[in-house]
Amino acid sequence: MGKTYTLNVAGLSRSLPLVPISDDMQIASFVILGDVELTVRCAAELARRAPDFDLLITAEAKGIPLVHEIARQLGMKTYLIARKSVKVYMKEPCSMQVSSITTSGEQRLYLDKAEMDGMKGKRVLVVDDVVSTGESLKAIRNLVELSGGTVVACMAILAEGDAKERSDVVFLEELPLFDKNGDPIG
């Protein structure tokens, strides 16, 4: 069995497997999908720390259960998902380019014009599971601003690597990067 990292967040502990992303770097694989207890606890903690807002948005896919649970806990009726591909319901899709350390190649995030029109004049909270490079947050922020909405905060469960130094993201815990031997970097 490979090395793991023990994460403590929102009063819970999880053992995360280390997975290589290059010849000399590994990450602790944090997957919130399917972990109801962790989703509920992290959503509650993020909601408690959130400024006043009108609308939630996240990127597909791992942020979806998180924004759903935040919305449910706060009694909200809607939230938005920036999709990774154009969907048939999108009559006038708008997109922003995004890059990720866990996915190779060019990626884009899409919202339909109707969704963007619904953000005009709204205070928007951007939520993600893990912030590493911040590229997903940047793309979502650009979509919100293009729509005429105002980003009031960016929030995440974890800040990975250098993202812990960011002053523009509220996060619950730090997540280190690891060298090829499984030792934390930095």
Domains of the chain in start order, with CATH, are 4-179 (3.40.50.2020)
Residue 124, pLDDT above cutoff 80: yes
Q: What is the mean pLDDT of residues 7-27?
A: 95
Residue 30, pLDDT above cutoff 60: yes
Residue 14, pLDDT above cutoff 90: yes
The reported pLDDT for the residue numbered 100 is: 59
pLDDT 10s digits, 34-83: 999 999 999 999 999 999 999 999 998 899 999 999 999 999 999 999 99
In DSSP terms, which residues pair with 110 in a beta bridge? Answer: 83, 95
- Least confident window among 77-81, 87-91, 167-171: 87-91
Residue 101, pLDDT above cutoff 80: no
Residue 125, pLDDT above cutoff 70: yes
Cβ pair 100, 70 in contact under 8 A:
no
Q: Percent of the chain having pLDDT more than 70?
A: 95
**pLDDT tier at 147, thresholds 50, 70, 90:** very high
Q: What angle is formed at CA 56 by the lines to CA 53 and CA 147, rounded to 5 degrees? A: 90
Residue count of the chain, please give it: 186
Amino acid at 81: I
pTM, two decimals, is 0.91
